[in-house]
Amino acid sequence: MRARSNLARGQAVIPEVCLEDLCFDAQQAAEKAVKAVCIHCGVRFPYVHNFKELLEALEKSGVRIPKYVWDADALSPFGVELRYPGFARPVTKRQHRRAVRIAEAVLRWAERQIAKT
């Protein structure tokens, strides 16, 4: 799963790498995992970086979305705003750790959804 690659990069704290880039990779890991569930379930999804829209599409198709997966919406700004300098404040270590924790949880959930059938 491509999401695993993004997650590995997001987890790797390297002194020369900006936390914003690591958070972008965490966001991408979670987004790709959610989109993999959509594909697996035959759900058409919008081409967006917004977790609320993606998860609503899944939920409307009957997929139960746990609260901790809805927490992924906190990652949505990392998919767009942090890609462009000057749009947001610098990311803190605490924000990075939270982004990685959310992405890890979403990825585990997605893998369980795909393994069900």
d(Cα 117, Cα 113) in Å, to the nearest integer? 8
The pLDDT score that the predictor gives to residue 90 is 85
The two tokens of residue 79 are 């998919």
**62-109: pLDDT as tens digits:** 999 999 999 999 999 898 766 666 666 888 999 999 999 999 999 999
Helix 2-11 to helix 19-41 angle (10° resolution) is 160
CA atoms of 32 and 61, how far apart (whole Å): 18
For residue 117, the model assigns a pLDDT of 63
**Topology of domain 2-115, per CATH?**
Four Helix Bundle (Hemerythrin (Met), subunit A) (1.20.120)
C-alpha–C-alpha distance, residues 53 and 91, integer Å: 24
* Separation between Cα atoms, residue 108 and residue 4, nearest integer Å: 10
Summarised one tens digit per residue, pLDDT across range 5-24 is 999 999 998 888 889 999 99
pTM of the predicted model as reported, rounded to 2 decimal places: 0.91
The residue-averaged pLDDT of 19-37 equals: 95
